[in-house]
Chains A and B, each alone.
Chain A
């Protein structure tokens, strides 16, 4: 990946396309989980990669690239949620196509969890998605979202309580 990054920084468009392919799952996934709309998530993800293309010179390493992509995607999705209040209580557009036959676990339960995620505040959605999609610890999440680590922990605690409550409703 570092080789692709170096080549992309030197102007190799093929290497940049390889970077996009390598990170599209994480970027699109983060936007999708936060926005609940595959169409909007695609748009945000494309814009993030366009911004990356313009800022390639300032990206120092693969680790920096991952950090940068998560940060920009999360902040863009938060901005989109603030701008578009309809998304705050959106349905899961395109949810059916996102549940594959190979997915482990209970699909209905997972749909319930994703729906509950979309009832959380924009920042809480970002915290929960970064924690459980990308397996990041609270300190890394705090750096990405520019918030104190204790705020991240309280978002996580509160969000898990809400999730637990929603699962109780689901079980009953």
Chain B
């Protein structure tokens, strides 16, 4: 009885082939997974490169703004210096004019 049951079980549980095209479906999933991993492999270097470019851009912009501010300050100082010179020249002219008139 036990042997008979075991034989029946062997027949009932014999290995079964999956539906046709199983290996092709596995290979398609393997290829899709490889593509996904390749994209993931590039994601970190691409993010890193984008971050570096962004940082460089920000640095250049700040640097440019600082230079612009420094240029404006120099211009202001030149104008102020010219203004002072102008006032002093006026004063000197007035002094000379008064001296020659008296």
Instruction: Tell me, yes or no, whether B8 is within 8 Å of chain A by CB.
Output: yes
Q: What are the residues of chain B within 8 A of A135 when measuring CB–CB? A: 10
Count residues of B near A (Cβ-Cβ below 8 Å).
25
Instruction: Tell me, yes or no, whether B30 is within 8 Å of chain A by CB.
Output: yes
**Contacting A17 at CB < 8 Å: which of B13, B16, B27, B29?**
B27
A103 touches B11 (CB 8 A): yes
Instruction: Tell me, yes or no, whether B47 is within 8 Å of chain A by CB.
Output: no
In the complex, the number of residue pairs spanning A and B with C-beta atoms less than 8 Å apart equals 98
B-side interface mostly:
helix
Report which A residues bind B (CB closer than 8 A). 13, 16-17, 20-21, 24-26, 28-29, 32-33, 38, 41-42, 45-46, 49-50, 53, 98, 103-106, 109-111, 113-114, 117, 128-129, 132-135, 160, 163-164, 167
Report which B residues bind A (CB closer than 8 A). 1-2, 5-6, 8-19, 22-27, 29-30, 33
